[in-house]
Amino acid sequence: MSSGLRFCLVALTLAMTCLAAHAFAKKPLDLWAFFHFNGTAFVAGKPAPLSPFVAVRDGFMPVVETNEERVMEVQLPEGSGALVGICYVQSYGGKLKPAGGFHAVPMLEVPVTSAAGKPVTPVQTDTSGYFMIALPAGSYLVGNQRVEVKVENGKTSFIPLRVGKRMVD
């Protein structure tokens, strides 16, 4: 074997070893995307400290958390996706707070049915008003408003559900 070919093999082996080490050294947290609810929709990024956010990663169950350090990885079942939502009451008005806002609705049961009308196991919101469920890929009707949402294999879909409106003077 010529010395030029040996050099190429050694260089290729070294490059592959460095790439593998870099891939394994990457923090799992770097692979997650973070979203929060701003009162009307889910937006990318984390909110103010100690406010809940959703950590999302393809192929894994989403996690609602207030601390980035505690994100736990749980894989989605084969052939399914995840649905994450928040139930909230929209708030308007007030002499001291003219801008609108929202209040999360905790411990609310959210009905989920397939697009064909077959009921799926209902899900309940947590103490921050968020809910999440793993579902087989397909279309579903969520909440009493029957909002249609499509769940894709290995992906996470978001749905904000306004369950009321509060007008303050």
Question: By residue range, what is the domain housing residue 3?
Answer: 1-27
| Closest to 138 in 3D by CA, of 118, 122, 110, 111 | 118
Judgement on whether residues 1 and 64 belong to the same structural domain of the protein: no
Judgement on whether residues 16 and 39 belong to the same structural domain of the protein: no
Count how many residues are written for the chain.
169
Model pLDDT, residue 12: 65
Model pLDDT for residues 35-93, shown as the tens digit of each residue: 999 988 999 998 888 889 999 999 999 999 877 666 778 999 999 999 999 999 988 76
Model pLDDT, residue 95: 61
- Cα 125 to Cα 89: distance, rounded to the nearest angstrom: 13
Element (H, E) at 3: helix 3-25
Q: Which CATH number characterizes residue 112's domain? A: 2.60.40.10
Judgement on whether residues 92 and 122 belong to the same structural domain of the protein: yes
Give me the mean pLDDT over the 130-146 stretch: 95
Judgement on whether residues 106 and 152 belong to the same structural domain of the protein: yes
Model pLDDT, residue 123: 95
